[in-house]
């Protein structure tokens, strides 16, 4: 089996827990995922199956969308309500208008300091390992992309609300809420998180782990697999003849002049062959005049 299985990750599970469960369900080891979710989070987790795992690091669309709950007046060591509360503050007087004003200045390309409870590595060690030992180390800010922040619900009396977030890969939503709390001067922690979009896939296409198990028991799990080529549908395409396909699959660099009418100003392409269909991705080297294989994503014996 090769393709993508879209899982609605349950709360309390790590992304690695999901992979472990699916290895038992699918009876195969070659699985990977795109976009780690914290245990408290739920929602879209694209799981790459078989040869499709080679696509994990080259996905063209890194956009993620979330619905996040928050509570004003608190600061925690994890930046969510599962951690130790370090500070409490009065949030009386914080209005919806103040929230919207603060959020309006937090979008775009921004520098974000990763939380201590994260998988980011410092000197070869994951931050959450150090945090569990009670250690705090200096972290370097990372440039992340926050496309949109929308306040969708707010109860000023309770200091509780919901935020819609659209962002790029590597962005910590709980850090966005922590930073929002610092801007407002009262602190804030994340109380819930659901990912609704990841890498072009929406939550309405996901299945639960229970459904995956049922489909596997019925011998129909292949029906839920999404072809890997769909991930690269946003790229311009190059379609090869049978002869070109044989050469390409044997590692021969094709001359761009033989692909007339297909090469544009773009540098990256989704490659389709005959009769194999989607083969993988390639880079057009305009200076050398050749098409270079970026990643083969089909079975090697096809």
| Burial call 272-288: b when 16+ CB within 10 Å, e when fewer | bbeebebbbbbebeeee
Tokens standing for residue 60: 């063209």
Size of the chain, expressed as the number of residues it contains: 302
Contact 33, 56 (CB under 8 A): yes
ω into 79 cis (within 30 of 0): no
Q: Which two tokens stand for residue 290?
A: 């050749």
Which runs of consecutive H residues, i.e. helices, occur in the chain?
Answer: 15-26, 96-104, 127-132, 173-184, 209-217, 242-249
Q: Which of 8, 38, 80, 179 is catalytic?
A: 38
- Burial level of 151, CB count in 10 A (0-12/13-18/19+)? middle
CB of 4 within 8 A of CB of 49? Answer: yes
Residue 157 burial by CB count (10 A; 0-12/13-18/19+): exposed, middle or buried?
exposed
Rounded distance between C-alpha atoms, residue 87 and residue 188, angstroms? 10
Task: Name the token pair of 146.
Answer: 């926050």
Active site residue 38: yes
Question: What is the C-alpha separation between 5 and 225, in angstroms, rounded?
Answer: 5
> CA 131, 134, 138 angle in degrees (round to 5)?
60
Active site residues: 38
């Amino acid at each position: 089996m090769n393709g993508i299985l879209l899982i609605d990750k349950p709360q309390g599970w790590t992304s690695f827990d999901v992979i472990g469960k699916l290895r038992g369900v699918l009876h195969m080891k070659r699985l990977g995922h795109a976009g780690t979710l914290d245990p408290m989070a739920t929602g879209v987790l694209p799981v790459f199956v078989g040869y499709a795992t080679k696509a994990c690091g080259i996905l063209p669309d890194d956009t993620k969308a979330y619905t996040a709950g928050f509570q004003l007046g608190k600061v925690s060591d994890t930046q969510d309500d599962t951690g130790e509360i370090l500070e409490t503050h009065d949030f009386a007087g914080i209005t919806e208008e103040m929230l919207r004003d603060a959020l309006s200045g937090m979008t775009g390309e921004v520098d974000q300091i990763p939380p201590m409870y994260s998988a980011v590595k410092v000197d070869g060690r994951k931050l959450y390992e150090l945090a569990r030992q009670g250690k705090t180390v200096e972290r370097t800010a990372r440039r992340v992309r926050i496309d949109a922040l929308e306040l969708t619900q707010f109860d000023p009396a309770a200091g509780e609300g919901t935020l819609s977030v659209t962002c790029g890969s590597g962005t910590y939503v709980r850090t966005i809420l922590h930073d929002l709390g610092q801007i407002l001067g009262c602190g804030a922690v994340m109380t819930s998180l659901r990912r609704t979009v990841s890498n072009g896939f929406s939550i309405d296409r996901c299945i639960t782990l229970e459904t995956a198990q049922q489909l596997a028991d019925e011998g129909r799990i292949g029906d839920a697999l999404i072809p890997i080529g769909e991930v690269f549908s946003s790229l311009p395409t190059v379609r090869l003849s049978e002869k070109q396909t044989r050469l390409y699959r044997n590692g021969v660099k094709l001359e761009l002049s033989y692909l007339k009418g297909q090469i544009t100003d773009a540098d990256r392409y989704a490659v389709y062959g005959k009769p194999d269909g989607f083969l993988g991705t390639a880079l057009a080297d305009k200076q050398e005049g050749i098409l270079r294989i970026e990643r083969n994503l089909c079975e090697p014996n096809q």
